[in-house]
Amino acid sequence: MQTVKSLHVLRTALAQLRVENATIALVPTMGALHEGHLTLVRRAKEAADHVVASIFVNPRQFGPNEDLDAYPRQLAADAAMLEAEGVALLWAPDAAAMYPPGFATNVSVAGVSDGLCGAARPGHFDGVATVVLKLFNQVAPDMAFFGEKDFQQLAVIRTMARDCDLIAPHADAIIGVPTVREADGLAMSSRNRYLSPGQRAAAAALPQAMQAAVAAIEGGAAAATALAALEAALIAAGFASVDYAALADAASLAPLEALGPAPARLLVAARIGTTRLIDNLPVGA
């Protein structure tokens, strides 16, 4: 596996991979890799001739009160994991390569970015959309893989790709991969490392309460009733607060009062100690 830090070397390395119409899948990450990321790589490997992974801790998606400097960085360990999975190329630019002096563009996807995590983290999805559009243009992959764990992020990226008529990748080639979970159901996340043993045990209440809410909504309960029970269960389990618990249309993320004919999603963000956990589940699928 070749690790590349400058755009002109990336272009040369990509040209070498693309011989005889070989296909390329991109797996964008911010590093601190876990089994969830490696699952994306494995899915990408099944689908394309070559996998390109990116590691870039994107400053533009961190708010002023979110500690960019504290974000875990472990490039050598991450590179070893990616190499073991058969990744062909690791694109690992620094901030100066990604955002050279004079960089002035902001990509903003209205609507789907606004509620849920977008309300709690103003500007976050602009930062995501901006860097992902750049990554897509830098690598021009045939397909790209993202975890459904960040369901709103996936919706923002798909909307951007559709609205901008992207061709590499096409919106239909942006693949969402189901969330990888620990044995007790907690969604894998680089943030789980911040939980104390007690918080980690209590965090299992999140997927459990969400499954109960999904069952209630699928059984005909009003969303408000099921979501209130979910919030109460999380607080009883030791969560400090619930940022949001919502039933939403799976494509637009518009709030729903009850399950209708279209695919729906239950999305939750809740804090345990100072750690903010997010999760989501399909409803009525």
Q: What residues line the site for ligand PAF (CB under 6 A)?
A: 28-30, 58, 61, 128, 131-132, 150, 153
Peptide bond into 169 cis (omega under 30): yes
Give the active site residue among 34, 37, 124, 170.
37
* 31 versus 207: smaller Cβ distance to ligand PAF: 31
Q: Between residues 81 and 234, which has the closer beta carbon with respect to ligand PAF?
A: 81
Nearest to 187 by CA among 229, 151, 241: 151
Least distance from ligand PAF to the Cβ atom of residue 139, Å: 12
**Catalytic site residue 34?**
no
The nearest distance, CB 37 to ligand PAF, in angstroms, is 8
DSSP labels for 172-223? GGEEEEPPPB-TTSPBP-GGGGGS-HHHHHHHTHHHHHHHHHHHHHHTT--H
Burial of residue 120 (number of CB atoms within 10 Å: 0-12, 13-18, 19+): middle
**At residue 177, what is the residue type?**
V
What number of other Cβ atoms are within 10 A of residue 264's Cβ? 23
- Closest CB 194 distance from ligand PAF, rounded Å: 16
In whole angstroms, the minimum distance from the beta carbon of 58 to ligand PAF comes to: 4
- Least separation in angstroms between residue 56's CB and ligand PAF is 6
- The encoded tokens of residue 189 equal 């996340």
Nearer to ligand PAF, 89 or 131 (CB): 131
Phi, psi dihedrals of residue 181, rounded to the nearest 5°: -120, 150
Q: For ligand PAF, which is the closer residue by CB, 93 or 207?
A: 93
Nearer to ligand PAF, 128 or 269 (CB): 128
Contact 90, 242 (CB under 8 A): no
Strands (E), the chain: 2-4, 24-29, 50-55, 89-91, 143-147, 174-177, 241-249, 264-272, 275-283
Alpha-carbon span 11 to 54, nearest angstrom: 14
**Residues labelled as active-site residues:** 37
